[in-house]
């Protein structure tokens, strides 16, 4: 048996149940990045020239991913799984990965976050393999604005992907949009109307300082308060009565101004201005098998070396638990504040973490 070389961290119960941290939170939501590669270059995420991609040998195989999920579900209390990246669709073995995960975990909710480029050809196969639902990123319905934000002219492919995902039953389908001031912020009500017509839940995400270009500024980002104000031009929002249940998105019921008819819901993910770290339930594993206990962690704990050196499940679970025990309180620090003086942006961009 290969044991973690690290001693049990201070204060961690010797027989800690599941992925507990020092602040009493327990991670039950596992997010695995399948790849650091992507076919878009969204300005808030990737640089125009791309990044130095990981070599194939550095990236977890389907079998390694399946083993980690098995350990997470059987031994560590994981109750839901999200596949992300990079762009999961660039993995040629995506359908096999999902089929393998589903065969071992018949009841596990398995979702994916994707840019939907090329999805129209694969949506039905992904559903048949066992994918439960999908969240798709779409920042603009205008071809020029889409191309400006993503640096690629693929809007039509994304729209086709969304239609295919709906037809395949990858629902409830959610669309993620990041608003950039002066670029697509005026589109907020239009995007919401478009999603409501299709039974899609739109979520606006505050831009976070996780871009490879390090171009984020607190003044430049569009805040949740601004999103609500932009939407109020056409819609009335009221707090959704449902339980938030640790979710990043705060949900609102949507009605046209002056109408009582409920059109659907919209979510706002206010990671910067209205953080939700106190109830965080997420544990992340990067494409190269490193645990990131927080999206903004500067410390990573390697599971791939254990996977590849004959370690047993118990040793892997123990190292994962230790990594999560050290989870920072918020935003990778001991306090909230992505705009605080002591926040230091990580070298990892969102695409290399697994957003």
Ligand X SMILES: Nc1nc2c(ncn2[C@@H]2O[C@H](COP(=O)(O)OP(=O)(O)OP(=O)(O)O)[C@@H](O)[C@H]2O)c(=O)[nH]1
Ligand Y SMILES: C[S@@+](CC[C@H](N)C(=O)[O-])C[C@H]1O[C@@H](n2cnc3c(N)ncnc32)[C@H](O)[C@@H]1O
Residues annotated in a binding site for S-adenosyl-L-methionine: 44, 86, 137, 208
> Per CB under 6 A, which region of 73-81, 82-90, 101-109, 238-246 contacts ligand Y?
82-90
Taken as a whole, the chain contains a residue count of 355
Question: Given the complex with ligand SF4, which of 99 and 112 has the nearer CB atom?
Answer: 112
- What residues form the annotated binding site? 31, 38, 42, 44-45, 82, 86, 113, 137, 174, 208, 277, 280, 282-284, 294
**Which of helix, strand or coil describes residue 170?**
coil
Contact positions with ligand Y (CB under 6 A) in 29-48? 38, 44-45
| Beta-carbon contacts of residue 267 (< 8 Å; ≥ 6 apart) | 174, 201, 202, 203, 204, 247, 249, 250, 251, 252
> Per CB under 6 A, which region of 68-76, 99-107, 207-215, 289-297 contacts ligand Y?
207-215
Given candidates 4, 20, 76, 86, which one binds ligand SF4 under the rule CB under 6 A? 86
Are 251 and 240 contacting, i.e. CB atoms less than 8 angstroms apart?
Answer: yes
Binding characters for ligand SF4, 103-142, by CB under 6 A (x = yes): ------------x---------------------x-----
- According to the binding rule CB under 6 A, does residue 118 interact with ligand Y? no
- Which residues form the interface with ligand X (CB under 6 A)? 82, 84, 111, 113, 135, 174, 176, 205, 247-249, 269, 271, 280, 282, 295, 355
Question: Given the complex with ligand SF4, which of 44 and 252 has the nearer CB atom?
Answer: 44
Alpha-helical runs (H) found in the chain: 62-75, 94-104, 123-129, 143-150, 155-168, 188-197, 224-231, 304-307, 313-325, 350-353
- According to the binding rule CB under 6 A, does residue 231 interact with ligand SF4? no
- According to the binding rule CB under 6 A, does residue 201 interact with ligand Y? no
Question: Given the complex with ligand Y, which of 82 and 321 has the nearer CB atom?
Answer: 82
User: What's the min distance (Å) between Cβ of 308 and ligand X?
Assistant: 28
Sheet holding 201-205, edge to edge: 235-239, 250-256, 264-269, 201-205, 174-178, 133-137, 110-114, 80-84, 29-33, 282-285, 290-292, 301-302
82 binds, among ligand Y, ligand SF4, ligand X, none (CB under 5 to 8 A by kind): ligand X
Q: What is the C-alpha to C-alpha distance for residues 202 and 230, in angstroms, rounded to an integer?
A: 14
Are 169 and 237 contacting, i.e. CB atoms less than 8 angstroms apart?
Answer: no
Given candidates 29, 33, 41, 237, which one binds ligand SF4 under the rule CB under 6 A? 41
Other C-beta atoms closer than 10 Å to the C-beta of 156 total: 11
| Beta-carbon contacts of residue 316 (< 8 Å; ≥ 6 apart) | 67, 68, 71, 303, 306, 307
Question: Given the complex with ligand SF4, which of 18 and 275 has the nearer CB atom?
Answer: 275
Q: Taking the alpha carbons of 47, 155, 168, 235 in that order, is the dihedral positive or negative?
A: positive
- According to the binding rule CB under 6 A, does residue 19 interact with ligand SF4? no
The contact set with ligand Y (CB under 6 A) reads 38, 44-45, 84-85, 87, 113-115, 137, 176, 178, 205, 207-208, 210-211, 350-351, 355
The contact set with ligand SF4 (CB under 6 A) reads 38, 40-42, 45-46, 85-87, 115, 137, 275-277, 280, 282, 294-296, 330-331, 350-351
């Amino acid at each position: 048996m290969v044991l973690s070389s690290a001693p049990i961290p201070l204060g961690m119960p010797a027989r800690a149940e599941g992925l507990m941290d020092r602040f009493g939170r327990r991670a039950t939501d596992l997010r695995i990045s399948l790849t650091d590669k992507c076919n878009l270059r969204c300005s808030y995420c990737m640089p125009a020239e791309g990044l130095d991609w990981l070599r194939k040998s550095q990236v977890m195989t389907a079998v390694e991913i399946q083993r980690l999920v098995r350990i997470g579900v059987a031994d560590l209390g994981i109750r839901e799984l999200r596949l992300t990246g990079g762009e999961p669709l660039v993995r040629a073995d995506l359908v096999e990965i999902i089929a393998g995960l589903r065969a071992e975990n018949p009841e596990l909710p398995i979702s994916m976050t994707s840019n939907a480029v090329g999805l129209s050809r694969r949506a039905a196969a992904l559903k048949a393999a066992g994918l439960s639902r999908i969240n798709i990123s779409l920042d603009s319905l205008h071809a020029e604005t889409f191309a400006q934000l993503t640096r690629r002219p693929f809007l039509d492919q994304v729209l086709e992907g969304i239609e295919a995902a709906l037809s395949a039953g990858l629902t409830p389908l959610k669309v993620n949009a990041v608003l950039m001031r002066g670029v697509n912020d005026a589109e907020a009500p239009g995007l919401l109307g478009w999603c409501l017509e299709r039974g899609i839940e739109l979520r606006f995400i505050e831009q976070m300082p996780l871009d490879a270009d390090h171009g984020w500024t607190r003044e430049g980002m569009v805040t949740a308060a601004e999103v609500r104000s932009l939407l109020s031009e056409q819609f009335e929002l009221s707090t959704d009565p449902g339980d938030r249940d640790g979710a990043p998105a705060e949900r609102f019921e949507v009605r046209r101004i002056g109408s009582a008819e409920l059109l659907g819901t919209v979510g706002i993910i206010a990671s910067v201005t209205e953080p939700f770290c106190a109830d965080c339930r997420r544990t992340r594993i990067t494409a190269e098998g490193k645990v990131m206990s927080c999206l903004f962690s500067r410390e990573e704990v390697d599971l791939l070396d254990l996977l590849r050196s004959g370690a047993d499940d118990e040793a892997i679970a123990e190292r994962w638990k230790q990594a999560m025990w050290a989870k920072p309180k918020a935003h990778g620090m001991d306090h909230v504040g992505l705009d605080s003086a002591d926040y230091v942006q990580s070298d990892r961009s969102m695409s290399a973490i697994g957003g």
